[in-house]
Amino acid sequence: MRISSLYNTNAMLAQLNINGTRYSKLSEQLMTLKRINVPSDDPVSASRLVQLNREQSAIKQYQSNITSLSGALSIQESNISALSNQMLAVGDKLKLANNSTLSQKDMAGYGMELSSMVDSLVATLNAKNENGSYLFSGTQTDSQTVTWDEQKKAYVYGGNDSTRETIVANGVSITENTNVTHAFSGSGNDLEMLNKLKALSDKMQDPNASYADYQDEMDQMIGMAQNTSDSLAGLFTDLGGRQNRLTLLNDAHSDVSLANDDVVKELSATDYPTAFTNLQMYTQSVQITYKAYTMVSQLDLFSLM
């Protein structure tokens, strides 16, 4: 079998090209500290990294939504807590006023206090967030929650019963808003409790009215105030439950994110000691190939005679 000098040259150049490519790739991995710099370095791992990065982006968005929603719920909790405290005060005041031995002047004083409490309740129901949106108007956040209708001579609800949902995980959403006006209503959003409390406070301040004229209303209002307090307590519990779910979901997202980070590092990070050792080996291989090529290229038939 005859081996031409051209064959030797091509074989040596091919080997030099292979070693040079491997040397360049290892040098790049050592400089970037990344095992995969382009998808062709490892197509399977590169595809997995794309999936992991997409999942990490989704987790960051979920966690951002959770942070925002948790803040919104905390503001609602504060205002519902205030409403609950105000209703406890209303109940206590009604019980003190429910006394036939009190004078009309004393009754009028209690009536004025109850009227002031109604104003405080309405003000809290009309609470806004930092963006100026009404907290308890359903999805009509630009509409005042409770207003006084001069024609009806009654408080009316200005929002709706719709809910806003925030996505906090894949396929999981949590309600953002809370319908508080139901706690003050007998049916739907009629605000029956507020309107009857205002009417009672007005009667108590009427100098021509006596305790007997509104005793039944007083007894009824004490019961309604208790029902409203119970409803507010239920809403507060519901908000706490939503906050707990958010905490659990956020912790789960954090655990998954940490696990994904470990996988990303495992797939993409350069094994520095191994890469450095291989780089030295390819450096030596290139040097040996060059030396062998130089020696072979100098051989001819006459040198053997």
Mind listing the pLDDT tens digit for each residue in 90-114?
999 999 999 999 999 999 999 999 9
**With respect to CATH, is domain 65-263 assigned 2.60.40.1120?**
no
Q: How far is CA 290 from CA 14, 26, 260, in A?
A: 12, 20, 45
Taking the C-alpha atoms of residue 82 and residue 70, their distance in angstroms, rounded to an integer, is: 18
pTM of the model: 0.77
The pLDDT value given to residue 265: 78
pLDDT band at 1 (very low <50, low <70, confident <90, very high): very low
Percent of the chain at pLDDT > 90 equals 68
Q: How far is CA 199 from CA 10, 34, 65, 102, 110, in A?
A: 105, 75, 43, 19, 13
Query: Residue ranges of the domains in the chain?
Result: 5-50+271-304, 65-263
What is the residue-wise DSSP string for 177-240? ----GGGG-SSTT--HHHHHHHHHHHHHT-TT--HHHHHHHHHHHHHHHHHHHHHHHHHHHHHH
Mind listing the pLDDT tens digit for each residue in 128-152?
999 999 999 999 999 999 999 999 9
